[in-house]
A and B are shown apart, each in its own frame.
Chain A
Amino acid sequence: MHELPIAENILNIAVDYAERAGAKRVTALHLVIGQLSSVVDDSIQFYWDIISKDTLCMGATLQFDRIPATLVCLDCGHTYTLNRELVACPHCDSIRLKVTAGEEFRLESIEVET
């Protein structure tokens, strides 16, 4: 539900870096989004098309690199990725877990024309 402010943040960061690189326009954005970040690609895309109008980012494509949630069990050391629902360690049923991936939420790079 908060994809609009997120899209605005992405736009601000991308325009900032594009201006500093002396870009004429931005053609693509590479986003790294972990599974545990509750954002919907389609919603961001929807807002993106509207708010990027008349900016350096107009027409730029959003490329989402989705990172699965990975957990490591602190008791038996087993590492596993989540398919859907949150589950205890499938090896020893422990709930002492550490998330090692899946929380990413960053703009990795932009592709620009100079």
Chain B
Amino acid sequence: MTKIVPVVQEIMSANDSLAAQNRAKLDAAHVVGMNIMASPGAGKTSTILRTIEALTADYSLGVVEGDTANVTIDADKVIAAGMPAVQINTGGNCHLDAVMLSGALVQMPLDDIELLIVENVGNLICPASFTLGTHFNVVIASVPEGDDKPYKYPNIYRGIDALILNKTDLLPYIDFDMAYFRRGIEILNPDVAFFPISCKTGEGVAEWVAWLKERVAVYRQ
């Protein structure tokens, strides 16, 4: 006999429920989690290093590095900056998921840190579909990627809390229509906080860090 069995279940529900467990674990340790997503080469690690530099006086930080290959270049830079870093090698996978983060949280000294920065795999498509359980999400775009990215990769810009536009020092040399870029973002996510920065010159970093401090303080209350 053939029959229809109603299911009505979100396909990502297994990941989402594990993400909720990650969140509970962070909350229990009074750690604020931030997920950073970007395309390869946008400047995730440079931005994280700039952020660490500006925040160390106020907060103790930890970094989880997602990488597709077994290289420790990024993790080494973070450790050199004096932070606990855990690297997740995704084995070629294009994104971090809640299972991978949960494995990294076990290795992270959560009692000693206040802000956990999660550097996702460089990719503008896949990380958008996998929640991790962090308290907020940030995308780093960069000027050389072009002003059309919000239109081509809309999903990654939805549901983020802050958008950093890195490499603004290159604006004089590249055809980047800021109004077109921002309009795309505003259609997708009108409430997003927007920070044009240059990791090279340091321009705009203070504004980004001020916003971040405020968010961390709100979540830690």
Complex Cα distance, B189 from A96, in Å, reads: 9
Decide if A111 touches B154 in the complex (CB within 8 Å).
no
- If A9-B11, A36-B154 touch, does A2 touch B130 (CB 8 Å cutoff)? yes
How many positions in chain B have a CB within 8 Å of any CB in the partner chain? 36
User: Please, which residue of chain B has its CB at the minimum distance from the CB of A94?
Assistant: B187
Q: Which of A10, A38, A86, A111 contacts B4 (CB 8 A)?
A: A111
How many angstroms between the C-alpha atoms of A108 and B7 in the bound complex?
Answer: 5
Give the number of A-B contacts (CB < 8 Å): 101
Output the nearest chain B residue to A97 by Cβ-Cβ distance: B187
Report the nearest B residue to A13, measured CB to CB. Answer: B9
- List B contacts of A96 (CB < 8 A): 190
Contact of B13 with A110 in the complex, beta carbons under 8 Å = no
Residue picked from B5, B15, B129, B183, most chain A C-beta under 10 Å: B5
Given A23-B5, A88-B187, A111-B4, verify A2-B11 contact (CB < 8 Å).
no
Residues on A with beta carbons closer than 8 Å to the beta carbon of B14:
9, 12-13
Q: Of B7, B151, B183, which is in contact with the most chain A CB atoms at under 10 Å from its CB?
A: B7
Q: How far is the CB of A27 from chain B (nearest CB, A)?
A: 7
Residues of A within 8 A of B5 (CB): 17-18, 21, 23, 109-112
Which residues of B come within 8 Å of A, CB atoms? 1-15, 93-95, 97, 123, 125-126, 128-130, 150-151, 154-155, 158, 183-184, 186-188, 190
Would A9 and B15 be within 8 Å (CB), given that A2-B95, A108-B6 are in contact? yes
Contact between A37 and B129 (Cβ–Cβ < 8 Å)? yes
Grouping DSSP codes into helix (H, G, I), strand (E, B) and loop, the A interface class, with mixed when no group exceeds half, is mixed
CB distance from A29 to the nearest CB of B (A): 8
User: Which residue of the partner chain B has the closest CB to A2?
Assistant: B126
A86 and B184 contacting across the interface, CB-CB below 8 Å: yes
A14/B7 contact (C-beta < 8 A), A2-B95, A36-B155, A112-B2 known: yes
Q: B2 contacts which chain A residues (CB < 8 A)?
A: 27, 111-114
Interface status of A91 (Cβ within 8 A of chain B): no
Bound Cα distance from A13 to B15, whole angstroms = 12
Asked if A50 CB lies within 8 Å of chain B CBs, one says no
27 A-B residue pairs with Cβ-Cβ distance under 8 Å, sorted by A, are A1-B126, A2-B126, A9-B11, A9-B12, A10-B11, A13-B11, A13-B13, A21-B3, A37-B155, A38-B125, A38-B128, A38-B155, A39-B129, A95-B190, A97-B187, A105-B12, A106-B7, A106-B9, A107-B8, A107-B11, A108-B8, A110-B4, A110-B5, A112-B2, A112-B3, A112-B5, A114-B2
